[in-house]
Chains A and B, each alone.
Chain A
Amino acid sequence: MAKIGLIFNGVWSHYALATAPKYRDLYELLYVHELTAEAVQHLDALAIPFQSNQLVLTEKQAIIYDFLKTGKKVFLEGDSSTAWLDAQWEDRPVNNYWWVNDPTNPPVSETNYDHPVYQGLTPRQACWHTHGVYTRVPASAEIIQTNATGDVITWQTNEYGGTLLATTLDPLVEHGVQQITHLDNYVDRLTYWLSGEQPSAARMTIDAAAYGAGALV
């Protein structure tokens, strides 16, 4: 049974990841417009991917914070809104090509590899590109990753009961897109941290039957 609820904005990359044979028994798509407290009760963790609907998340923020209050985990990637999160996300140009143009200058300069998600990852596996930065995080936050100018890329807090891990990386969306081939490493570490279940070691594949008339929505 799935242990991680993926809050779903109807976006194909969210869908591709959650219906992939490698992950479909671990992630459950929770369509954001139908998100209720009852729908998350049986889950161990929530994942809020990049390209989420911040307006609807704001309307439904009590569900997220009540979930955290029970001691569970929430993972948030990409952008966010101060309307529901006590942190300031700011947009920045996305640099997809640093490893071609300037491989000695990645978008993340410091990483705490003691964090369970980052243990065993190489620097390339720990950062491919970022979608903006955090210029303010909660006072209680532990900083996991920063860029060269000191802006926060990844942070974590236990302030709300459980553990909230937030990053401007986008592992779930990019792994769904499948244009970066090393993301099984990050997503598998993340999945294990969120659920206690280790995905298979094989590379993510796609089940064509889940597309079109057979779509699981």
Chain B
Amino acid sequence: MLQALLISNGLQGLEKYYVSNELVHYTTCFVTGDFNPDLTPYDLLVVPNGSDHVAMLKIKDQVSAFLDAGKALVCCDGFFTAWVPGNQWLMDNSRRTLDVRYTPGPDAHGLLENLPLDELNFSHGMSGWWSCGYIQAAPGAEVLLADTWQRPIVVLDEVSTPGRMLLTASGPLADVTYAGKSETASVTLYRNFLRLLSSETVPAHG
């Protein structure tokens, strides 16, 4: 089972979206004034939607060392500070949400398998609801989803560090399935990444 550290800046209800299951056990780490978590016991660092990117910038070097050790990062948020190796999120409001459509790119590991892409393209008939801005992706990183203007929206980076990074342009991901309901697209994409990690990661906790 993967051991994941979920970074929390105290947002109301965050814990409801990341629930431990057969693939992963979550430990929540709250941001404090002297934020300096020990990442070494974990396989995966999760920086969810609405996170504190001032705090993440403070631990930029620890995150780099974590990835250099072959570990994994999910950041599904607008990382406006420069703490993600090789990649940078930029806010942009120059394009109409009405025109936003996502198209799949190369997907060597099958992270888009069973992904209902229309769920990300439309909600109640409206487009442009899932992501904001775009990612300046590292050269050689896999752009799993691009927007109408071919800007990276979901990136799998296996080239900038020895580890793996799954990044979204603030599009939320989650690890929860409510009883009697099917997985949403944001859960499917996330769990496909977890399965990739599970198949190739030597768990930190046996």
Contact = CB atoms under 8 A, between A and B. Distances in A.
B51 A11 contact: yes
Contact of B132 (A9, A177, A217): A177
A178 B56 CA distance: 24
Contact of B55 (A10, A13, A15, A208): A10
Interface in A147-181: 177-179
A85 interface: no
Interface string B70-90: 000000011111100000111
A101 interface: yes
Contacts of A205: 93-94
Contact of A211 (B35, B90, B93): B90
Interface stretch (B6-14, B147-155, B198-206): B6-14
Given A16-B91, A54-B12, A206-B91, A10 B78 contact: no
B80 A212 contact: yes
B171 to A, nearest CB: 12
A96 B130 CA distance: 13
Contacts of B54: 8, 10, 31, 217
A211 B136 CA distance: 11
A12 B31 contact: no
B82 A213 contact: yes
Nearest to A100: B124
B80 A211 contact: yes
Nearest to B79: A12
Contacts of A208: 90-92
Contact of B78 (A12, A204, A213, A217): A12
B125 interface: yes
B126 interface: yes
A39 interface: no
A55 interface: yes
A28 to B, nearest CB: 14
A96 to B, nearest CB: 8
A139 B154 CA distance: 49
Given A33-B31, A53-B31, A179-B128, A212 B92 contact: no
| Band of interface residues on B | 35 or more
Contact of A178 (B77, B88, B132): B132
Interface in A9-68: 9-13, 15-16, 31, 33-34, 51-56
Contacts of B78: 12-13, 16
A53 to B, nearest CB: 4
B121 interface: no
Interface string B45-80: 000001111111100000000000000000001111
Interface string B126-139: 10110010001000
A101 B124 contact: yes
B92 A217 contact: no
Contacts of A213: 82
A9 B124 contact: no
The 9 closest A-B pairs by CB, nearest first: A10-B52, A12-B78, A53-B10, A178-B93, A10-B54, A33-B33, A97-B124, A212-B88, A215-B81
Given A53-B31, A206-B93, A208-B92, 7 more contacts: A10-B53, A10-B54, A12-B78, A33-B35, A91-B12, A211-B88, A212-B81
25 contacts: A9-B11, A10-B53, A10-B55, A11-B50, A11-B52, A12-B78, A12-B79, A16-B91, A34-B33, A53-B31, A56-B10, A79-B12, A91-B13, A96-B123, A97-B123, A179-B128, A179-B132, A206-B93, A208-B90, A211-B88, A211-B89, A212-B82, A213-B82, A215-B57, A217-B54
Interface of A: 8-13, 15-16, 31, 33-34, 51-56, 79, 91, 96-97, 100-101, 177-179, 204-206, 208, 210-213, 215, 217
Interface of B: 9-13, 30-33, 35, 50-57, 77-82, 88-94, 97, 123-126, 128-129, 132, 136, 170
